[in-house]
Structure 1
Amino acid sequence: MTTIAELIVTALAEHGVRQVWGVVGDALNPVTDAIRREERIEWIGVRHEEAGAFAAGAQAQLTEDLAVCMGTVGPGAVHLLNGLYDARKSHAPVLAVVGQVPREDIGSDFFQEVDNRAVFADVACFNEMLTSPEQLPHLLERAASTALAERGVAVLTVPGDVGGMDVPDDTPVPRFARPAPIAAADLDDVRRVASVLSAAAKVTLLVGIGARHARTEVLELADRLKAPMVLSLKAKDGFDDDNPFEIGQSGLIGNPATKQAFDDCDVLVMVGTDFPYRDFLPTGKTVVQLDSRGSHVGRRTPVDHALVGDSRLTLQALLPLLEAKADAGHLDSTRTSYAKWQERQSHLTDPGYDRKPRGLLRRKVDNPDSRIRPELLAAVVDRHAAQDAVFTTDTGMSTVWLSRFVRMTGTRRLLGSYNLGSMANAMPQALGAQALDRSRQVVAFCGDGGLSMLLGDLITAVSHDLPVKLVVFDNGRLGMVKLEMEQVGLPEFGTVLHNPDFAAVARAMGMHGVRVEDPHDVDAAVQEAFAHPGPALLDVVTNADEVAVPPKPTLEQGWGFAIAKSKEFLTSPE
């Protein structure tokens, strides 16, 4: 006889699932025991279920296929929630198998009982409980197929007395449906957009991760229109490399060229992006938005012409209708501005910057102790990382430094909590990426606040032989929060972190650990960490007062910093 748990695990293995992430526990013991006996699936036991959910979400984003995490009854299930929200907002197909108290105890406020239907109601596109063998295979098929079709989270609850139940001998192994085929936007809409673009003098593109598979077509569109290309952060993955139209990111991580490109254009074309920061988008422009999800069109800025369809197929239909523009003035001007900004930024990556004439004034303002500038660290990592490395970043200042100084060249990939904006995502996402391919380099840009939040899962990297490289921007601060406070004139409060020596902590857990406090030691330390064959943590003590200047600082922001700094000076202890 085959049990419910065995049938679930066999179905996952047949689909191609190779790892399951979670923490073992009573309600799911039949399931994890079935995994123990299934050679095609590796159980990766994490120290916190949230880390497992983040890891599964990372795998789903990289493979564009189903990934699986598990949490047992009550607290184990609840701990999954944050990582599952990240998967939901990243459109990652994840199946969460969660435990529940035995059926006879449901509704009695039994020990550890929580209402899974209520807990996961908002995060899940499928949320049902398996209570009998007769519900197989269709309930599991619905769960996985819904996650794949809607690119979201499916939650399947299994009570503690159900997993070990036998299923009838003739029960087929559940099989999961693939999503519907993609299609181009309506041809009449495409023709109207072609007329708009042909008549426009200056066009700017805002390109997102939804166009990653349409790289060739997007580059041809930019060439035909002589249009500068602003990239969302996620679109660095796919459009950073060998792109003569790219001018970086917008928003707080942006630069003056992107603001110029928005301000000066007649038509803004948004391709495969749900860029959320309305204040940075231009007003008074004709807006074209191409997105595979009609629900995304117009929710960030008013749209004059909507194209709902696959970006690659739609652009293939649009391009033959466009004549190449001759005037490249708009493109050349913004590209020149971008190059000048990059040159100014590059000065900060010199380990001797603070001792040279051009760095003396800035050192007095923001780095009197000559601490390591995070720009230097990011640039060195970029220089030594593999051309097929997978990068993950924590939410906060570490993402700023990656966006500005790491290029997604070659076949590099990029992951982060860029829609949910959670702390503590970089390390567990790196674990997920590394488990897919232990021979591929995976580099996590970790904030000290983010890393310490799920610090226990450093052990997971060691115990499961996951050779991740964790680069810690150790500035003793919740850096982005500090910046947010100072921009509006508040002194920083509650942002100071009393950190341990993270390298020593890593070594205590069996991981290779290196700590760096001198700018001139950064290059050698990065090479040492990357050369280590197993998991390695690089703890770099960086400047806490480094300021990521917005694309065009406002007078209010300037006054805010001045007021905040005066308050910090007056209230700081002697």
Structure 2
Amino acid sequence: MRHEEVAAFAVSAQAQLSGTVGVCMGTVGPGSIHLLNGLYDAKKSHAPVLAICGQVPSPEIGTDFFQEVDNAALFADVSVWSQTLSSPAQLPFLLEQAVNAAVSLRGVSVLTLPGDVGDLTVDKDVRPATFASCGAAAAAPDEQLEAAVAALADDADVTLLVGCGAAGARAEVLELADVLAAPMVLSLKGKEVLERDNVFQVGQSGLIGNPAAAAAMDDCDVLVLVGTDFPYRDWYPTGKVVVQLDARGEHIGRRTPVQHALVGDAAATLRALVPRLERRTDRTHLEKAVSAYASWQERQRGLRDPGHDRTLLGRARAVLDNPERLIRPEALAAAVDRIAPDSTIFTSDTGMSTAWLSRFVTMRGTRRLVGSYNLGSMANALPMALGAQGLDRGRPVVAFAGDGGLMMLLGDLRTAVTYRLPVVVVVFDNGRLGMVELEQEQGGLPEFGTELDNPDLAAVATAMGLTSRRVTDPEQLDDAVRWAFSADGPVLLDVVTNPEEVAVPPKPTVSQGWGFAIAKAKETFESR
């Protein structure tokens, strides 16, 4: 990689996609420091990663030598295991501990190697390292199961909130929803597991979600959390009976009060739980939520059409929010969704790129999704796409890149060229830090410091060796996306999108609306 941060993001993605340990390396001092942001992404995503980091020669440690940093202090918060190799004889044992800790604890291990130790020879008689496999998944204890059955025994309306902890329990979660006649709200990381062929799902919650998902949670009597650590307290309903199933006991109750805990593997626990439940005959709550979700999707459908702004309603709306008739980001996301193969791996930058992916891309077929959805870092889409493509060069990989995120680690576009990684980088080029602008305006502040003075990103990518194209005409959108997926080698599609597009939150408040109106008025007066 051209930047160590890219390497750490790439192996975080590889570990999440493969379930096996990812390995990255950084040289002494600054090289290891640059790994840190990507390693935090791995930590917060519970991805097993081994970072091998350089250090100054042993006699110089502690002397404030050139490029010396204290790796033990530097990586103390991000790692589940961190040690320094001081003798070649330690190598098999420390390597085993590092990998076993990363895999069993689902986190980051850091093995530091001083320069002089790296130049020594390992004895030929030293046995090779051997690594432990993960333990067997177990169901929650029987007393916890019985308490959950009692909580779900009457006719109270139930809603499920499901996350990526249910990745190995798709069939069991669908059966649970069917038995309880429960609508299923998905976390963003649960989207790739349970969105496809799911008649119970009603999309996401939170700022990137939709009103149907919010209502399904607000209207229930019992909320069942399955394999999710959804962090936003304000989006949890209050006054509900909450049942939480998670393999990690430390996750129970840290987001919302929980009356009934189920600590165990999701699939094993649901296989023990569901047969004890009585099948619901009243499906009113489920049908209401699913119908509301379908209505919301229909209302969004017009924005997916590249020709939306030529319609009567589109022309009227464009006067206010798209006077230059730029490409709407919803149409771009929908075009990629239509054209990308069903085996595509998607990555997305934190911000509006993720909002458009969440709302307009469906995880059908064997599609996968990975992003910095726990750390929330910028600039992760391209690095994660490179890591994903490195796992399988024959599988389509597309990065939903924001222009702000891409410019932060632009140099690693060349990595795709150097190693002939055929990633498709789709840039939502709106000249803005869009999510920050939206947050400012919802608070009544006029946009400030979010405008980006971008170069022609397609021209930059062409100079770096990628096949590239810049798109400014909505009529050319579908053709350009098809071209991108048919090209040979790495591709960058620079799509100039409307910076005024607003992703309305599922439960807009009066204060948000008033703040937005005030901000827009201030922006208008100041621009005049």
User: Is residue 517 of structure 1 aligned with residue 472 of structure 2?
Assistant: yes
Cα pair 2:155 2:280 within 8 Å, conserved: no
Partners in 2 of 1:477 and 1:169 — Cα distance? 58
Cα separation, 2, equivalents of 1:269 and 1:200: 15
Unaligned runs of 5+ in 2: none
Q: Tell me if 1:432 matches 2:383.
A: no
2: CA distance, partners of 1:429 / 1:255? 27
Matched, 1:252 2:207: yes
| CA distance in structure 2 between the partners assigned to 1:335 and 1:106 by the alignment | 62
Once the two structures are superposed, residues 423-480 of structure 1 have per-residue CA deviations (whole angstroms, 9 ceiling, x without a partner) of 0000000000000000000010000000000000000000001000000000000000
Superposed CA deviations along residues 151-172 of structure 1, whole A, max 9, x for unmatched, are 0000000000011211222101
Q: Does 1:129 align with 2:84?
A: yes
Match of 1:163 in 2: 118
Amino acid at match of 2:10: A
Q: Distance in 2 between matches of 1:54 and 1:70?
A: 12
Q: Does structure 2 conserve the Cα–Cα contact (< 8 Å) formed by 1:200 and 1:267?
A: no
For structure 1, list consecutive stretches of 5 or more residues without a partner in the other structure.
1-45
Partner of 1:218: 173
**Conservation of the 8 A alpha-carbon contact between 1:185 and 1:310:** yes
- Select which of 451, 462, 466 maps to 1:507: 462
Q: Which is worse superposed, 172-181 or 387-396?
A: 172-181
Shift of 1:355: 1.9
Q: TM-score, normalised by structure 2?
A: 0.99
Question: 1 CA distance for matches of 2:91 and 2:65?
Answer: 27
- 1:66 has 2:13 as partner: no
- Number of residue pairs the alignment of both structures matches: 528
Determine which of 326, 329, 332 is the counterpart of 1:374: 329
> Residue type matched to 1:462 in 2?
V
- Matched position secondary structure for 1:168: coil
Q: Does 1:470 align with 2:425?
A: yes
Matched, 1:413 2:365: no
What letter corresponds to residue 273 of structure 1 in structure 2? T
Partner of 1:75: 30
Please give the alpha-carbon distance, in whole angstroms, between the structure 2 residues aligned to 1:163 and 1:374. Answer: 50
Task: Give the corresponding residue for 2:95.
Answer: 140
Q: Does the 8 A contact of 1:374 with 1:542 survive in 2? A: yes
Query: Is 2:7 aligned against 1:49?
Result: no
SS of 2:81's equivalent in the other structure is strand
Which residue pairs with 1:113 in the alignment?
68
Paired residue for 2:138? Answer: 183
Name the aligned partner's letter for residue 224 of structure 1.
V
Structure 1 residue 337 corresponds to structure 2 residue 296: no
- 2:216 is equivalent to residue 261 of structure 1: yes
- Matches of 1:450 and 1:269 in 2, distance apart? 35
Structure 1: distance between partners of 2:424 and 2:411: 16
Residue 148 (structure 2) aligns with = 193
Provide the C-alpha distance between the structure 1 equivalents of 2:103 and 2:158, rounded to a whole number of angstroms: 35
Q: 2:192 aligns with which of 237, 248, 252?
A: 237
Cα distance in 2 for partners of 1:242, 1:198 equals 28
Number of the residue aligned with 1:92? 47
Tell me how far apart the structure 2 counterparts of residues 225 and 361 of structure 1 sit (CA, whole Å).
44
Look up the SS of the partner of 2:428 in the other structure: strand
2:347 counterpart of 1:392: yes
Question: Cα deviation per residue 1:199-220 (whole Å; 9 max; x = unaligned)?
Answer: 1420000000000110000000
Aligned residue for 2:501? 546
2:268 maps to what in 1?
313
Partner SS, residue 447 of structure 2: coil
Q: Which residue does 2:128 correspond to in 1?
A: 173
TM-score by structure 1 length? 0.91
Q: Which consecutive aligned stretches of 4+ in structure 1 deviate over 6 angstroms post-superposition?
A: none
2:232 to 277, 282, 293: 277
> Partner of 2:163 in structure 1?
208
1:501-544 deviation line (CA, Å, top 9, x unaligned) = 11111110110001000111100000001000200000000000
RMSD across aligned C-alpha pairs, in angstroms?
Answer: 0.8
Deviation at 1:274, TM superposition (A): 0.2
Residue 447 of structure 1, aligned match among 396, 399, 402: 402
Deviations 1:13-34 (A, max 9, x none): xxxxxxxxxxxxxxxxxxxxxx
Q: Distance in 1 between matches of 2:64 and 2:150?
A: 64
Which residue does the alignment assign to 2:277? Answer: 322
- For structure 1, which segment, 211-220 or 128-137, has the greater mean C-alpha deviation from structure 2 after superposition? 128-137
1:530 maps to which of 472, 480, 485: 485
Question: Aligned residue for 2:415?
Answer: 460
| Residue 361 (structure 1) shift | 2.7
How far does residue 393 in structure 1 lie from its aligned partner after superposition?
A: 0.4
2:434 to 460, 464, 479: 479
